[in-house]
Amino acid sequence: MIDYGTHHWPVKASDQSPTDAAAQAPAHLPPTLEWVGGEEGCLRIIDQTLLPLRLEMRDCRSVEQVWEAIRELRVRGAPAIGVAAAYGVCLGTRAFRGREPPFFVAKVQEVSEYLCTARPTAANLSWAVRRVQSVGPRHISAGPAAAWSAMLAEAHAIAREDVEVCRRIGEVGADLVPDEGGVLTHCNAGALATVAHGTALSILYAAQRRGRRFKVYADETRPLWQGSRLTAFELHAAGVDVTVVCDSAAASLMAAGRIQMVMVGADRIAANGDTANKIGTYGLAVLARHHGIPLYVAAPVSTFDLSLRSGADIPIEQRPEHELRTAFGREIVPPGVPCHNPAFDVTPAALITGIVCENGLVQPVTEQGVRDVAQAGRSSRPDGTGPACP
């Protein structure tokens, strides 16, 4: 078992700072993840497997700890695992700063490939890993120590960029939120899924700051309950009107006229706009289209993968059976009955009303529109191509 350094953080409603909504939501929580200390520091994360009943910080001091934290969903959400993996490359190569340059470069490659195996679907993971990995060889002429320092600086840059990108996503999409309407969310695409602000929830926080009044219905998002455990947790802490509903209640809520928008995040967006998101999103898109309700996807440009022509090419992560087989520590599936547990499904672009990213709104969702906003953010990619693993 991996031994993490653990830090407890008291959860108190009185800690909330209602005037600090623009900084990070919810304001009274510690950062979802951050580098603590200088070059000999570590990655500190909120262990999201313990929320909402326990809020604990865990220190990752090795690449193995980062890999395990990503795989076991201690840190989750496409942007957040990208930042975590960026720091993981640095942690996994720090001990080799004193070795000869070829050895160091080979180790960077090895660690990068290892991190990419943690979760295959989220584009941000491999995108961020490749950004950091590409820095090492470019600075190796100054020696491995200097190259490693440049890699850490790149990881810091990715973390800083995520904060600004998510803020911009919120500003771009805020006016889409229906005043006095109902918004349905799925999974968690909030501050807990990013360095700050969130993607889909950043739009809701920005709309709240602009004075819009709305009610959020948060799908539980089975089987791991990211909606009820995480989205409801942070929205309630930020003073947003939120009610938890079971996933299968979405259709009846739509039919009753209580939902005016569906707002979700994304883990990978193909060139034609097909979008992979938490399992169950495709079903919501079909329901929304039947009821004439717009469904918007919010994601940074780093989630776009222009190397994939359509959603049929997106790799879908298969999660362990035990996540379905057990609930709250109890077996709920008869012994011997197999479980099928895909983490994501793909929503066709034709069912998506618009995609909100930091560079603007893609509406209608077309391949040209996706490429236009992706090209506007091309400078953030090392070589302008898709985010395949190194």
Rounded CA separation 86/25 (Å)? 23
Q: Does some domain include residue 387?
A: no
CATH number at residue 303: 3.40.50.10470
Q: Does some domain include residue 389?
A: no
| Residue 184 sits in the same domain as residue 98 | no
Q: Does some domain include residue 386?
A: no
Cis ω on the peptide bond leading into residue 364 (within 30° of 0)? yes
Q: Does some domain include residue 48?
A: yes
What is the domain count for the chain?
Answer: 2
| Residue 129 sits in the same domain as residue 190 | no
Angle at alpha carbon of residue 323, lines to 322 and 324, rounded to 5°: 90
Single out the residue in 168, 201, 222 at which a domain terminates. 168
Structural domain range at position 221: 173-380
| Residue 153 sits in the same domain as residue 213 | no
| Residue 178 sits in the same domain as residue 208 | yes
Rounded CA separation 104/285 (Å)? 47
| Residue 238 sits in the same domain as residue 144 | no
| Residue 13 sits in the same domain as residue 89 | yes
How far from 63 is each of 4, 40, 156, 208, CA to CA, in Å? 12, 14, 17, 38
Single out the residue in 168, 197, 221 at which a domain terminates. 168
Rounded CA separation 161/25 (Å)? 17
CATH number at residue 9: 1.20.120.420
Q: Does some domain include residue 316?
A: yes
| Residue 329 sits in the same domain as residue 316 | yes
Q: Does some domain include residue 388?
A: no
What sign has the CA pseudo-torsion 198, 202, 205, 206? positive
By annotation, the residues acting in catalysis are 267
Q: Which residue has the tokens 């079903």?
A: 283
Q: Does some domain include residue 296?
A: yes
| Residue 98 sits in the same domain as residue 132 | yes
How far from 367 is each of 25, 286, 295, 372, CA to CA, in Å? 33, 21, 18, 9
Q: Nearest Cα to 80, choosing from 133, 24, 134?
A: 24
Residue 53 exposed, middle or buried by CB count within 10 Å (0-12, 13-18, 19+):
exposed
Single out the residue in 102, 134, 168 at which a domain terminates. 168
- 3 state DSSP class of 62: coil
How far from 192 is each of 49, 98, 235, CA to CA, in Å? 12, 36, 11
| Residue 145 sits in the same domain as residue 224 | no
Please list the pLDDT of the chain residue by residue as tens digits (390 residues): 444 555 544 443 333 332 233 344 455 678 999 999 999 999 999 999 999 999 999 999 999 999 999 999 999 999 999 999 999 999 999 999 999 999 999 999 999 999 999 999 999 999 999 999 999 999 999 999 999 999 999 999 999 999 999 999 999 999 999 999 999 999 999 999 999 999 999 999 999 999 999 999 999 999 999 999 999 999 999 999 999 999 999 999 999 999 999 999 999 999 999 999 999 999 999 999 999 999 999 999 999 999 999 999 999 999 999 999 998 889 999 999 999 999 999 999 999 999 999 999 999 999 999 999 998 855 444 333 344 454
| Residue 57 sits in the same domain as residue 150 | yes
| Residue 205 sits in the same domain as residue 154 | no
Bin 197: left if φ > 0, else alpha if -120 < ψ < 50, else beta.
Answer: left
Q: Does some domain include residue 385?
A: no
| Residue 127 sits in the same domain as residue 215 | no
Within 10 angstroms of residue 235's Cβ, the number of other Cβ atoms is: 27
Residue 186 · residue 284 · CB < 8 Å:
yes
Rounded CA separation 270/309 (Å)? 6
